[in-house]
Amino acid sequence: MDKDTVAAIAGARSLEELYSVFAATRYTAGWHKKKPSLWASPTTEFRPLHWRYREGKLALDRAGEWIGTELAERRNLLMFNPVGDNDYDTTPTLVAAYQMIKPGEHARAHRHTPNALRLILDAEPGVFTVVDGVKLSMLPGDVVLTPGWTWHSHYNEGGANAYWIDFLDVPLVQRLEPMFYEQHPVEVQEVLSEPKESKLAFSRAWTKATLAGLPAAANGVKRLLLPKDSMPSMSLYFLGMASGASTGSLRNSASHIYAVVEGRGRARLGDAAVSWERGDVFTAPCWAPVEIEAAEDSLVFQVTDEPLLRMLGLYREQA
């Protein structure tokens, strides 16, 4: 605090003048804040929303008529929540995007501090990701992880367009600010190994076989937590739902993104009711009630920042 500031504070003739001095010197009177800093329960501008795969797939096909990988390093369609000028974040900590890669294309290798993963929707044999030199196939229903700061690139050596959903914790890293990004010095990453199994990949066959061995809860839902030793900001689940099964109304302080692997059904998202089918995405931000019901046998993938909230002691739930 310099002499001019001291003089301005000492010379203030009213509380309003004092507030002006505070503002000019980067102070805020705690009793005179523009908005409360504490409130009784979570409040967020982020809304529960629903995106349809049939729309996203068509949009990528049309964009693919003009946009190649030489113009867009990743040809993806971000699912954003219309909060202020936001055109990126799906939730305050997570983003989801539909991505498409054409036959013969590859998305060049890069790495970044945010964690990322892919849920494959449509792909023929010959579609794969390389993570730090490890080649991982990408078939419908597979999940492929690319933990933060791993080199990763995508290839389509099949005969048809490939589609998947990206999930990343980029919004979290942007808010915390330790964002780092690099392009690989070589455009085509060298394949060093092609293992039959990897801790970075979960095949649809493995998921369904594992779910088959789990008991269903009283509501008819089986819940499988994918085992992983990286990406601590998020948990990944598969929900195996028999026809007619319902999660019941769920409400907690975490943010969640759901993607439909197979089946169809309905969801109550806050005050809105939606019908979902394969490839659709819907989201439940912090403290938004959500209830998912299957109209036929269904498999639903869930990405949530719940472990982040638990690590910080901020996780709460309400039945």
pLDDT tens-digit readout, 207-248: 999 999 999 999 999 999 999 999 999 999 999 999 999 999
Q: What is the mean pLDDT of residues 143-163?
A: 97
Residue 127 lies in a domain: yes
Average of per-residue pLDDT values in the chain: 96
**How confident is the model over 117-144, as pLDDT tens digits?**
999 999 999 999 999 999 999 999 999 9
The pLDDT value recorded for residue 2 is 77
The pLDDT value recorded for residue 236 is 99
**DSSP for residue 190:** P
Residue 118 lies in a domain: yes
Q: What is the mean pLDDT of residues 57-81?
A: 90
Q: Are residues 94 and 197 in the same domain?
A: yes
Domain endpoint, select from 182, 203, 224: 203
Q: Are residues 196 and 245 in the same domain?
A: no
Residue 116 to residues 66, 189, 230, 231: CA-CA distances in angstroms? 26, 18, 11, 8
Q: What is the mean pLDDT of residues 80-107?
A: 97
Structural contact between residues 21 and 5, judged by C-beta atoms closer than 8 angstroms: yes
Burial status of residue 43 (CB atoms within 10 A of its CB: 0-12, 13-18, 19 or more): exposed
The pLDDT value recorded for residue 262 is 99
Residue 124 lies in a domain: yes
Tally of domains within the chain: 3
Q: How far apart are CA 204 and CA 198, in angstroms?
A: 14
Residue 42 lies in a domain: no
Closest listed residue to residue 201, CA positions, set 268, 147, 262, 162: 147
The pLDDT value recorded for residue 100 is 97
The pLDDT value recorded for residue 187 is 83
Q: Are residues 154 and 244 in the same domain?
A: no
The pLDDT value recorded for residue 4 is 85
Residue 45 lies in a domain: no
Q: Are residues 192 and 274 in the same domain?
A: no
Q: What is the CATH number of the domain that holds 249?
A: 2.60.120.10
Q: Are residues 18 and 104 in the same domain?
A: no
Q: Are residues 179 and 243 in the same domain?
A: no
What are the tokens at 19?
């507030």
Quickly state the pLDDT bin for 1 (edges 50, 70, 90).
low
Q: Are residues 176 and 296 in the same domain?
A: no
**Pairing of β 106-112 and β 181-183:** antiparallel
**Which run of H or E residues covers position 23?**
helix 15-24
Structural contact between residues 75 and 97, judged by C-beta atoms closer than 8 angstroms: no
Domain endpoint, select from 203, 230, 263: 203
Q: What is the mean pLDDT of residues 291-316?
A: 98
Q: Are residues 189 and 77 in the same domain?
A: yes
Burial status of residue 211 (CB atoms within 10 A of its CB: 0-12, 13-18, 19 or more): middle
Q: Are residues 106 and 233 in the same domain?
A: no
Q: How far apart are CA 271 and CA 316, in angstroms?
A: 21
SS3 102: coil
Q: How far apart are CA 299 and CA 289, in angstroms?
A: 20
Residue 48 lies in a domain: no
The model's pTM is: 0.95
What are the tokens at 129?
């990701």
Q: What is the mean pLDDT of residues 175-185?
A: 97
Amino acid in position 200? L
11-20 burial code (b ≥16 CB/10 A, e <16): eeeeeeebee
Closest listed residue to residue 45, CA positions, set 18, 15, 85: 85
Residue 43 lies in a domain: no
Q: What is the mean pLDDT of residues 29-46?
A: 93
**Pairing of β 298-304 and β 95-101:** unpaired
Structural domain span for residue 231: 206-318
Q: Are residues 59 and 192 in the same domain?
A: yes
Q: How far apart are CA 67 and CA 70, in angstroms?
A: 8
How many other CB atoms sit within 10 Å of the CB of residue 27? 14
Q: How far apart are CA 218 and CA 76, in angstroms?
A: 39
Domain endpoint, select from 203, 233, 259: 203
Amino acid in position 141? G
Q: Are residues 268 and 135 in the same domain?
A: no
Closest listed residue to residue 203, CA positions, set 251, 249, 124, 139: 139
Q: Is the pLDDT of residue 43 over 60?
A: yes
Q: How far apart are CA 296 and CA 278, in angstroms?
A: 12
Residue 40 lies in a domain: no
Q: Are residues 290 and 214 in the same domain?
A: yes
